[in-house]
Amino acid sequence: MRRSPRIVGAVGISIATSVVGITALSGSAGASSNAQTEYQAALRTAGSQGVHYVSKASEQGVTIDVIGDTGKTSGSQVLTVRKGSLTERVEVILVGSTGYLQGNAIALQNILGLTAAQSTTYANKWLSFPTANATLAQLVSGLRNKDVATELKMSGPYTSGGNKMIGNQTTQAIKGFVSTSTGSKVPVVLYVQSGSTPRPVEEVTNPGKATTSIQGTVIFSNWGEKIHPTAPAHSVSLISLAPAG
């Protein structure tokens, strides 16, 4: 659930591969201990509560929009990928150990690898899969509370930035880095709510860069929310259509 290009993480949409291929770098001995302490406190808070998130990411004409909510053992999100006239849309629900997915035909073909005929047949119909399947479990990566901290991981050196008002909240900037699939470093700024409970408020990837570069923004709200997604009344086994690992 990396609510930037990284929040889309494991959802392997073909046209978005370069946008989501970001990982954390190893730390640096020169990291600011104060900034690192604040960052680690924010991760602990993030992994223990439900949250609503809105993510926007882009690179080289590809845009990814994600809206979702996390829970202790459940969650949901809607993901839309656009490139020119092509739009892929997927909705994913996690209920316990079962995931449910529905998408338009082009998304089912590009994301799941279904045939054109299958994608047309099952477009906008619910498909179910067990999260015990390691490959398919990637489709619900980031929908649990505990996943949020993992998705927000960045590496040092960490530095503290200035304060910023976001909505009606005073936040403190914590700066770090992630690495792209090509090995280059990308700056990330995590804005954390000031005060005794350092909740993440916004994450910005590659701030101020050219529009051709990878960029992303994630807004977090409703920390502590309790969600109760329910399983669709009818679904088709995804494994029966496209067996995976």
Q: Tens digit of pLDDT for each residue in 89-130?
A: 999 999 999 999 999 999 999 888 899 999 999 999 999 999
- Kindly state whether residue 5 falls inside one of the protein's structural domains: no
Percent of the chain with pLDDT over 90: 60
In a domain, 211, yes or no: yes
Q: What is the pLDDT of residue 210?
A: 58
**pLDDT value at 71 more than 80:** yes
Specify if 237 maps to a domain: yes
For residue 121, being part of any structural domain is answered with yes
Residue 13 has pLDDT above 50, yes or no: no
Q: Is pLDDT above 90 for 172? A: yes
* 137, two tokens: 């479990």
User: Would you place residue 80 in the very low, low, confident or very high pLDDT band (cuts 50, 70, 90)?
Assistant: very high
Residue 185: its pLDDT value, please?
Answer: 86
Residue 227 within any structural domain of the chain: yes
Percent of the chain with pLDDT over 70: 84
- Band of residue 150 on the pLDDT scale cut at 50, 70, 90: confident
Q: What is the CATH number of the domain that holds 149?
A: 2.50.20.20
Residue 5: per-residue pLDDT? 39
Give the side-chain half-sphere CA count within 13 A for 105: 7
pLDDT at 212 over 60: no
Does the residue 67 lie in any domain?
yes
Output the CA–CA distances (angstroms, integers) from residue 76 to 44, 50, 67, 141, 154, in the order listed: 22, 11, 8, 10, 24
Q: Buried b / exposed e across 123-140, counting CB within 10 Å, b at 16+? A: beebbbbebebeebbbbb
Domain assignment of residue 7, yes or no: no
Tokens of 205: 């990837």
Q: What is the mean pLDDT of the chain?
A: 84
Mean pLDDT to the nearest integer, 18-40? 59
The predicted pLDDT at position 242 comes to 60
pLDDT at 26 over 60: no
| Interacting residues of 225 by C-beta distance below 8 A, sequence separation 6+ | 49, 50, 51, 52, 69
Residue 161 structural domain: 14-241
Does a structural domain hold residue 1?
no
Count of structural domains, the chain: 1
Residue 52 has pLDDT above 70, yes or no: yes
